[in-house]
Structure formats: structure tokens, C-alpha cells
Amino acid sequence: MADRDTLTRSLHDIGLAAWFGGSLMGAIGLNGAGAAVLDDKERARVASAGWAKWTPVNAVAIGAHLVGAAGVLRGNKGRVATQQGVGASTAAKTALTVVALGATAYARVVGKKIENAGPVPAQGPTDPSAETPPDVARAMRQEKIAQWVLPVATGGLLVLNALHGEQQRTTEVVSGTLRKLNPFGS
């Protein structure tokens, strides 16, 4: 087994926790609060202001997670290569990370379109009304999808982290390594 690397694992896990939690709270709490603003022209603007305040923190969280993920991968490269199942779960984590990064970038791009539109009438930050300008309404509908892709993808990463933890149990390491070395054995 590799030596301990508490800092790397902490960066990995705390960064992912903030990325997941921030996206979920934003989709439910921040956008929900924005929808409750009485002036329909201020709903999207208020939520956009909140998202703009969160963006730098989110960037640090994502960076911490990626640095931690690289460190964890480096520390476990032997298990990835030799233990059955670890390579596949690592590939799945990598793919989900790419999806989450893409969704984050996409959400920010369409979020900036909404933010830059200024005060526009809307039912909520991601719910246009009949009076919402068409380009802003399109951005709101796109944001509504992206805001749910994020917690689903980062939540999936949390589940795969749990799987990786289970795969590090001594019995899993031994049996998984033996199965990979001898695929015809029982």
C-alpha cells in the first residue's frame, strides 16, 4: 500500500464536496431565492449576483479537487494498473470529471449571458416569462439544464470515490490483483 497522503486526499475530497454542494445549493437555494424576488425584472439579476460571488470560490474548489485527483492517481498508479476494476472506475471518474468541468464552463458562459442582460422580466433565474427577450430566454433554458448536470456529475464522482475507498480494502486489493494477474482462475 502507498504511504499516507492526507493533504492530497483532503484537497481531492474537500474540493469535490464544495463543487457538489455549491452546485446543488445554487440550483435549489440561490435560484429558488431569486425566483422569490417580488420584482420580476430583478429575479435573474439577484441570482446572477450570487453566482458571480460564488464563481471564484468554485474555481478554487475545482482546482483543489483536480490537484488532489492528480495526486491520488499518482499515489495509486500501481493499483490502477494491477488491480481488477480500479482502472475501469478510474476511467469512469475521469469521464465524469470531464463532464462536470464542461457543464461548469457551459453554465458560466450561459450564466454570463443572463447576467449581462441586466434587468429583464422572468419567472425565475432559469425560468423565462413571455416578456423575457428571446436570447435571454434561451440562455435561461440552457442554464436550467446545466445547473442539474453539475450536481448529478459531481454526485456521481462522490459515489465513485466511495467505490475507490472500498477497492482499497486489503481483501479487495489482494483478490482484485490476483484476478487481474490470472483472469482464467476462480
CA distances from 67 to 10, 55, 71, 97, 175 (A): 10, 18, 6, 13, 30
Q: How confident is the model at residue 166, as a pLDDT?
A: 82
Compute the mean pLDDT over every residue in the chain, rounded to the nearest whole number: 91
Buried b / exposed e over 49-77, threshold 16 CB at 10 Å, is: ebbeebeeebeebbebbbebbebbeebbe
pLDDT in tens, 34-65: 999 999 999 999 999 999 999 999 999 999 99
What is the pTM (predicted TM-score) of this model? 0.87
Give tens-digit pLDDT for 78-136: 888 888 888 899 999 999 999 999 999 999 999 999 999 999 999 999 999 999 999 99
CA–CA dist 44, 140 (Å, integer)? 9
**Domain ranges, ordered by start, for the chain:** 6-176
- Residue 182 pLDDT > 70, yes or no? no
* DSSP H/E element including 115: helix 86-116
Report how far apart, in Å, the C-alpha atoms of 124 and of each of 51, 73, 168 are: 14, 41, 45
> Which amino acid is located at 13 in the chain?
D
C-alpha distances in Å from residue 99, one per residue of 17, 105, 127, 153:
16, 10, 24, 7
C-beta of residue 45 within 8 angstroms of C-beta of residue 119: yes
Say what the pLDDT of residue 32 is: 95
Confidence tier at 137 by pLDDT (50, 70, 90): very high
**DSSP H or E segment with residue 54:** helix 43-75
| Residue 172, helix vs strand vs coil | helix
